[in-house]
Amino acid sequence: MQKRIAIKNHLQEIQLTTQRTVAMLIIMLVLIAFLIMRLGFLQLIKHDMYTTLSKKNWLDLIPIEPTRGLIYDRNGLLLAENIPVFSLDIIPEKNKNISQVLTEISKIIPLSETDITQFKKELAQHRRFDEIPLKLRLTEIEVARFYENQYRFPNALIKARLIRHYPLGAAFSHVLGYVGRINLDELENIDATNYSASNYIGKIGIEKYYEDELHGTVGYEQAENDANGQPVRVLKQIKPVPGKNLYLTLDSRLQLAAEQALAGHSGAVVIIQPSTGQILAMVSEPAFDPNLFVAGISGQDFQQLQLAADKPLYNRTLRGLYPLASTIKPYIALQGLDSGNTTPDFTLFDPGWYQLPNKEHIYHDWKPHGHGTVNLNLAIVNSCDTYFFALGHKMGIRAIDDILDRFGFGELTGIDMGEEVPGIIASPTWKRRVKNTAWYEGDTLNSSIGQGFMQATPLQFAQGIATMANRGKRFAPHLLLIEQEPGKPPEPQMATELEPVNLHNEAYWKTIITALQNVMTQGTGHVHYGDGMPYSIAGKTGTGQVFSIRHRDEEGKSEEQEKLPEKLRDQSLFVAFAPVDKPQIAIAVIAEHTNLAPNIARKIVDFYFLGPPAPVTAPTPNKEATANVIH
């Protein structure tokens, strides 16, 4: 039987085709709508972003390094300048084999181990397209050699740079500090944008403390590049803003005179203008040449400075700690008067020793047979230990701490350098915390003559005697006199007045200052200054004991002292101000392991008031800069 063949259902097929067509049309419409929305989003909402990205395909922003501000002394003498040099720079991103490039370049231009080490350090911390200096201060011959072979190094270039230079070298090294290449730690703490064209930053001293003022603000060039990334033309430029010029309170000639007077001895000199707190000179010896650090010091040179026995990198003016020794006695005497524990007329017989009640231990005066009957004036003039043993025991350690604290000892002075230490004003609480032992009466006696645990920095010595010269009026010591933005008027810095030292009776100032003047005309300072001085001066000598020796002469000398190794010999201290009635300078001198501090101070004070015995070499002041300086 023949099978029946089904007839197609055309109506059903048409319906199916129609449904599929409609479905496809809906999908297409949805996709077209999505595409239109996406195009609108990209063209309208994201227009600015993609325009910028497009421009980056052919434009580049090149940072321009600002010129670092200059540093002058108070008379316009240039202390830190920028000198032009040629450097050989490399763009690491465009050199696939850096090691090979360095090897080939070294065949043309000698590269030291320091050059390569510094380059690799900067290579690790800079952006890919930065130009990293490989060698600074190229000679004319080296520049010529490179240009002859530049076709071999298309991604290396000679660039003119300004580099820091310190014309007076070591004399100002501890005050000015120096600049050096930015390291990884510093890179994390600075504004990377503002330093995008800079390789150097202040490391210590004024250069570090006033880094923000000296650095300036980075500028930019918008450059058009070709297909190889090489700039074709500059389309737009934002000029960098130079750093501010700084004028310091320092007097260069006085600084050089102090350095020459201290030369050959480890120690420090600080000179303050009492009426303002301005630092006129600040010398730490031995010193170092800061120019060694600018381009990158070699490992051998740095190790030599670090391991030197006399520590030339150590800033003694701010970080050196020395016993107050007999320079403490005017402050103890002042507290004794102000607290009613002594009077100018009170006398005491000094047999050459002092003994605490019900104690066996004997505390010896520096003079074996004593000073006989002394009052407060003679006790200061002859530096009588026995008098101050008795006064210190009567007042107690808290009264001693109180007067030292009021004069600024044991705390930071706040000088604009930021590297100082506070010193030590010993107390029962301090000894328990640091030594974990009790305070004894003998500790109070040692403190009353500036021995034992008491320590201060040369800056604190100078600030203390400046306060004495001011009859209690105190100013924060500072180094910045004027700052000036290029093209703008100078901005003088005002003195910062601190809490004064107030007394119950203002006449006590005259009592102590008269005694300090008598020190120089009759007492322990007379041997160094003699008679007929052309200026009045009040001062106090001191001997900080490193190794205990019982008896000394009036100059603090001892035959036993001369037999000791140099490092065990005493520290020599001297503080003074002059003239007495209207003080212009207050000076503190510390000479380590020698007794020459008063002699060193005499040379400096003579220079200030009488002028140099021979010309002190120094560059001629900048006349244009001097016109803007307040004297």
- DSSP per residue over 233-267, as a string? EEEEEEPPBPPPEEEES--HHHHHHHHHHHTTS-E
Distance of alpha carbon 368 from alpha carbon 207, whole angstroms: 51
Taking each continuous run of H as one helix and of E as one strand, the counts in the chain are: 25, 23
Peptide bond preceding 579: is omega within 30 degrees of 0, i.e. cis? yes
- What stretches of 2-77 adopt beta strand conformation (E)? 59-64, 71-72
Q: 514 and 540 in contact (C-beta within 8 Å)?
A: no
Separation between Cα atoms, residue 602 and residue 539, nearest integer Å: 11
* Burial (0-12, 13-18, 19+ Cβ within 10 Å), 26: exposed
Rounded to whole angstroms, the Cα distance separating 603 from 266 reads: 17
d(CA 448, CA 458): 19
* Sequence-separated (6 or more) residues with CB below 8 Å from residue 181: 118, 121, 122, 199, 200, 201, 296
For β-strands 362-364 and 59-64, DSSP reports them as unpaired
Q: How far apart are CA 364 and CA 389, in angstroms?
A: 10
The answer to whether the peptide bond before residue 286 is cis (omega within 30 degrees of 0) is: yes
Dihedral (Cα; 112, 113, 114, 115), 10-degree rounding: 60
Q: Are 463 and 477 in contact (CB under 8 A)?
A: yes
- Strands 219-225, 278-285: parallel, antiparallel or unpaired by DSSP? unpaired
> What CA–CA distance (Å, rounded) separates 431 from 233?
70
Residue 24 φ then ψ, to 5° = -65, -40
DSSP-H helix ranges across 329-411: 329-339, 376-381, 385-395, 397-406
* Coil, strand or helix at 331: helix
What is the CA angle 435-438-441, rounded to 5?
A: 120
Catalytic residue at 383? Answer: no
**284: phi then psi, degrees, rounded to nearest 5:** -125, 125
- Looking at residue 41, the DSSP 8-state letter turns out to be I
Angle between helices 385-395 and 441-448 (to 10 degrees): 130
Q: Torsion over CA of 130, 136, 137 and 139, rounded to 10 degrees?
A: -90
| φ and ψ at residue 574, rounded to 5 degrees | -155, 130
- Give the closest residue to 89 by CA, choosing from 127, 130, 145: 130
* Residue showing tokens 């021979």: 614
C-alpha to C-alpha distances, 345 to 97, 271, 379, 540, nearest whole angstrom: 86, 34, 12, 21
Catalytic residue among 198, 326, 383, 447: 326
- For residues 301 and 295, the answer to whether their CB atoms sit within 8 Å is no
Do the beta carbons of residue 256 and residue 617 sit within 8 Å? yes
Question: What is the helix (H) or strand (E) element at residue 486, kind and residue range?
Answer: none
Task: Provide the residue type at 342 as one letter.
Answer: T
Answer whether 267's CB lies under 8 Å from 592's CB.
yes
Active site residues: 326
